[in-house]
């Protein structure tokens, strides 16, 4: 995330909402300050990763609602993904991958009951 990214977002916001760009001056100042001087400036890659995971979570939920299987993955060869996706030499890089599709009805592993811990082993009520 950089100042040009913020400007592109604000331009699009004004285009969609039919608002003058000057109406977002305070918002722009806050965003730029956050990216350049706030905690995002100390860990911009970490902050950007969190934004990706928010979007990934929405993708997973939306896919599930449509009956589409997904499999979010980390621990992948991000350099190879960058090369495959043509990201080399750009400001972008791969963080994770998430294939989506439909399982075979005959897939015994895909149709097996899911193994989950009981809620009382995961949630502590105080």
For residue 6, tell me if it sits in a domain.
Answer: no
For residue 125, tell me if it sits in a domain.
Answer: yes
For residue 20, tell me if it sits in a domain.
Answer: no
Output the pLDDT for position 18. Answer: 96
pTM of the entire predicted model: 0.73
Phi-psi region of 86 (alpha: psi -120 to 50; beta: other; left: phi over 0): left
For residue 5, tell me if it sits in a domain.
Answer: no
Total number of domains in the chain: 1
Domain that holds residue 85: 68-126
Confidence of residue 10 (pLDDT cuts 50, 70, 90): very high
Closest CA to 21 of 9, 31, 30, 33: 9
For residue 79, tell me if it sits in a domain.
Answer: yes
42-68 pLDDT, tens digit each: 888 898 899 999 999 999 999 999 999
75-114 pLDDT, tens digit each: 999 999 999 999 999 989 999 999 999 988 888 887 888 8
């Amino acid at each position: 995330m950089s100042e040009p990214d913020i400007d592109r977002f604000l331009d699009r916001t004004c285009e969609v909402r039919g608002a003058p760009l000057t109406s977002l001056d305070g918002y722009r100042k806050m965003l730029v300050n956050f990216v350049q001087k706030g905690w995002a400036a100390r860990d911009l890659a970490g902050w950007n990763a969190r934004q990706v995971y928010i979007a990934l979570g929405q993708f997973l939920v939306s896919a599930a609602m449509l009956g589409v299987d997904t499999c979010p993955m980390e621990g992948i060869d991000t350099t190879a993904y960058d090369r495959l996706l043509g990201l080399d030499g750009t400001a972008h890089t791969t963080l994770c991958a998430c294939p989506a599709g439909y399982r075979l009805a005959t897939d015994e592993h895909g149709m097996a009951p899911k193994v989950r811990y009981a809620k009382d082993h995961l949630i502590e009520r105080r």
